[in-house]
Amino acid sequence: MDDQRTHIISALVLHKPGVLQRVAGLFTRRGFNIESITVGTSEQEDIARMTIIAKGDGKVLEQITKQLNKIIDVIKVRDLEPENTVKRELCLIKVHSPTEKVRAEVVQYVNIFRGRVIDVSPETLTIEMTGASDKIDALIDLVKGFGIKEIARTGPTAMSRGIKTI
């Protein structure tokens, strides 16, 4: 129970104003470490799905899920098992690429990582990359040398593999 590890918490919440504040406020208030939080619509109308990446030992995680469950607008909370979970993050990277040669090189890397170039200007290329967070880190590392103008990452969103739902 003492091992500090990263947890993927999936929560179904009522799609209402203030619900993100209720959840985020809880984390600050109780001193829980939160790495990222994503919110979006779910398969059900009026219900949003939140994916929270948080660090802590088993005891902390138990408190996080219990305290989340106490929020009236939170319907369901589940700690997803990492090995049985698909987890993806979206990242946009704007790379400084003033010459033909640099652009060709960047495009090559992007292809290897199965990313896409979604915007080109005389000075920049903007890459879209979806994948596991460590893959995104690796691509960022590779193109860093050319000069990165901007990065926007969503933080991971996740769900259980197979037929299981929460």
Task: By CB under 8 A, name the one of 33, 41, 69, 108 that touches other proteins.
Answer: 69
Length of the chain, in residues: 166
Residue window 109-148: x/- pattern of binding to other proteins, with contact defined by CB under 8 A: ----------------------------------------
CB of 35 to other proteins, least distance (A): 22
DSSP the chain: ----EEEEEEEEEE--TTHHHHHHHHHHHTT-EEEEEEEEE-SSTTEEEEEEEEEE-HHHHHHHHHHHHHSTTEEEEEEE-GGGEEEEEEEEEEEE--SHHHHHHHHHHHHHTT-EEEEE-SSEEEEEEEE-HHHHHHHHHHHGGG-EEEEEE---EEEESTT---
Residue in 31, 43, 45, 70 binding other proteins, rule: CB under 8 A = 70
Count other C-beta atoms under 10 Å from residue 4's C-beta: 10
Using the rule CB under 8 A, is 62 a contact of other proteins? yes
Considering only residues 8, 9, 10, 13, which one is a binding residue for other proteins as defined by CB under 8 A?
13
* Least Å from the CB of residue 159 to other proteins: 20
Shortest reach from residue 76's CB to other proteins, in Å: 8
Annotate each residue in 21-60 with x if it binds other proteins (CB under 8 A) or - if it does not, as one string.
Answer: xx--x---x-----------------------------x-
CB of 21 to other proteins, least distance (A): 7
Q: State the distance between the two ends of the chain, measured CA to CA, in whole angstroms.
A: 24
Which residues here bind other proteins, judged by CB under 8 A?
13-14, 18, 21-22, 25, 29, 59, 62-63, 66-67, 69-76
